[in-house]
Structure 1
């Protein structure tokens, strides 16, 4: 992705979230220079991967296949493994009209996907067999506490205020219809580097960036190269 496109999309995303009454934490508005200057204060942000995130899933066409995210909180895998402590995560996301997040599942993470406003969020679901997507198999999920048994490839249509709870092994793709959707994700600890399993082996979670202008905000994927390794807690 071009850095100039990333900068423009981030500006649009900030305004879109604000239009839905959602105010991001203060560090969302820090420039790269301020983040560098305050590196000594933000080791927990860096370690947890909090902040702006954007991907075209390696397909090279963000509007067709892509997702914009901001991770507001994220716990520790060590706490999840021992069964206590900060075992949760939260994201704010924007799914644009007809923009696909490709079919995938998670090994560890369970999650609620919530339509917070805008159009209709369509979630297409399959079951799994032997850790692979099984397009002949359906699944059972809960939508706002109501059990739904779905046929293979059945599509949930979530209007604003509605949600679905997904467990590891629930293969899912999603996109917005009618208008862009402000999406919330509440989950167990999130590990985007190792816990996203895509049906299409050519899909990648993080995108390469062509630096045609200076960054307006840093992405989570910028942290290692621009801010270095966070200090040990």
Structure 2
């Protein structure tokens, strides 16, 4: 992805969050210089991958296949004594019509809430021992009610609704065309997107960035290049 595209995507999401009245914390607006001057007392931002994340999953077609993420808080798989939080909270911003490709998590269980905007369509499969699609029925809780569907069928989340996705459960979602952008919130167990995503086809979760202009905001995968404690 080009840095100019990433800059524009983050600015677009900030404007949409303001319009939807979802306040973001101060570090959402940090410049590269702010990150360069980060002090030890904010090490948690870096260690736990808090902040922005943008991906097109290596497809170079963000408008159709992609996701914008802001992580508010998170635990840490590798530093549990230092960061004992057992949970993670994110904003997952889905553009109208945009697809998140099929994947599951080996460890994470996630609770996804449609906080406002359009309708989210989620397609579900169980995984089998070979990490392929299983043809078994899928059970998924939506707003506290267990819904049972056939493999590969869909459920829909309107604003205010929520779904619990278990580890090992393949899911793909799309913002239903014609209904608008969607602000999803994810509350999950501790998350590490570098090691806990099993995509069915996509090979690239974290984008390679072409630095065609100066970064206005950083993604968590940029921190190592800027932050020196």
TM class by smaller structure: over 0.9
Structure 1 residue ranges (4+ consecutive) displaced by more than 3 angstroms after TM superposition: none
The secondary structure found in structure 2 opposite 1:77 is: coil
1:165 aligns to what? 164
Equivalent pairs counted in the alignment come to 226
**CA deviations over 1:52-96 (Å, ceiling 9, x no partner):** 00000011111111000000000122577x9x9410000001111
CA-CA distance at 1:135 after TM superposition: 4.8
**CA deviations over 1:178-205 (Å, ceiling 9, x no partner):** 21100110000001010000011x4311
Cα distance change of structure 1 residues 85 and 43 upon mapping to structure 2, 3 Å threshold: closer
The secondary structure found in structure 2 opposite 1:15 is: helix
1:214 & 1:162 partners in 2: Cα distance?
A: 39
Cα distance change of structure 1 residues 217 and 168 upon mapping to structure 2, 3 Å threshold: same
| In the alignment, structure 1 residue 97 sits paired with structure 2 residue 110 | no
Name structure 2 gaps, 5 residues minimum. none
- RMSD over aligned CA atoms reads 1.7
Q: 1:23-34 alignment to 2 at 5 Å? A: 23-34=23-34
Contact 1:106 1:197 in 2 (8 A): yes
2:185 aligns to what? 184
Contact 1:124 1:174 in 2 (8 A): yes
| In the alignment, structure 1 residue 147 sits paired with structure 2 residue 146 | yes
1:36 aligns to what? 36
1:218 aligns to what? 218
Name structure 1 gaps, 5 residues minimum. none
Q: 1:15-30 alignment to 2 at 5 Å? A: 15-30=15-30
| In the alignment, structure 1 residue 2 sits paired with structure 2 residue 2 | yes
Cα distance change of structure 1 residues 79 and 211 upon mapping to structure 2, 3 Å threshold: closer
2:59 & 2:15 partners in 1: Cα distance?
A: 26
Q: Scaled by the length of structure 1, what TM-score is found? A: 0.92
1:110 & 1:131 partners in 2: Cα distance?
A: 20
Contact 1:79 1:86 in 2 (8 A): no
